[in-house]
């Protein structure tokens, strides 16, 4: 069984002088963004080669590094007491399907510009994330999951994220 940590943190962002309150996610002690970046990098590298003429003025590897894992945690609007991460989503991003939940948004500040989507299924004992995909690319992200969490641990961490920002 996987473990999850929802952490409310203040993240510096390029478009604003202040810090942005977000819900950072770690799975099994590793940042979700880092896990996704590692899986997406081969696809981003292939896309960079395919589009080389468009980016001839950039050093090699630049586009791939910009594309792979180009996500930002969602704002604390999605933290507890919101039930977004329990499958009752606040927002369905562009290109999202019914039943999908956005777990990461774009670094530009517009969540659905570049979003990571998953299906969240709850039972009495577990929360499962499966069917991961990027809403802007048709990359195979099946290597991310399914992730199966103990529901009690999951909800305790989610509640804690809401309390972090209230303190």
Give the count of beta carbons closer than 10 Å to the beta carbon of residue 100.
Answer: 21
* Dist CA 117 CA 68 (whole Å): 15
Q: Residue 75 forms beta bridges with which residues?
A: 22
Residue 38 — very low, low, confident or very high, per pLDDT cuts 50/70/90?
Answer: very high
Structure tokens, 65? 């590094």
Q: Per-residue pLDDT tens for 94-142?
A: 666 778 999 999 887 777 788 999 999 999 999 999 999 999 899 999 9
Question: Residue-wise over 46-80: b if at least 16 C-beta within 10 A, else e?
Answer: ebbeeeeeeeeeeeeeebbeebbbbbbbbbbebbb
Residue 157 has what pLDDT? 96
* Dist CA 9 CA 164 (whole Å): 8
The pTM score is 0.87
DSSP state of 56: T
Integer CA distances (angstroms), 137 to 38, 82, 119, 165, in order: 15, 28, 17, 33
147 vs 48 pLDDT, higher one: 147
Look-up of token digits 């952490």: 7
Residue 94 has what pLDDT? 67
* Dist CA 92 CA 139 (whole Å): 19
Q: Per-residue pLDDT tens for 48-75?
A: 888 777 767 777 766 677 778 889 999 8
């Amino acid at each position: 069984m996987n473990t999850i940590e929802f952490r409310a943190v203040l993240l510096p962002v390029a478009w604003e002088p202040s810090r942005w309150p977000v819900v950072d996610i770690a799975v099994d002690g590793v940042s979700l963004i880092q896990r996704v970046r590692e899986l997406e990098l081969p696809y981003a590298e292939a896309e960079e080669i395919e589009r080389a003429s468009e980016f001839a003025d950039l050093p090699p590897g630049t586009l791939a590094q910009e594309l792979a894992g180009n996500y930002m945690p969602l704002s604390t609007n999605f933290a507890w007491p919101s039930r977004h991460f329990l499958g009752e989503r606040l927002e369905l991003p562009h290109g999202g399907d019914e039943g999908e939940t956005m777990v990461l948004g774009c670094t530009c500040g517009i969540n659905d510009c570049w979003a990571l989507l998953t299906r969240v299924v709850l039972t009495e004992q577990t929360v499962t994330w499966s069917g991961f995909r990027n809403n802007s690319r048709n990359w195979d992200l099946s290597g991310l999951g399914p992730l199966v969490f103990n529901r009690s641990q999951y909800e305790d961490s989610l509640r804690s994220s809401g309390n972090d920002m209230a303190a």
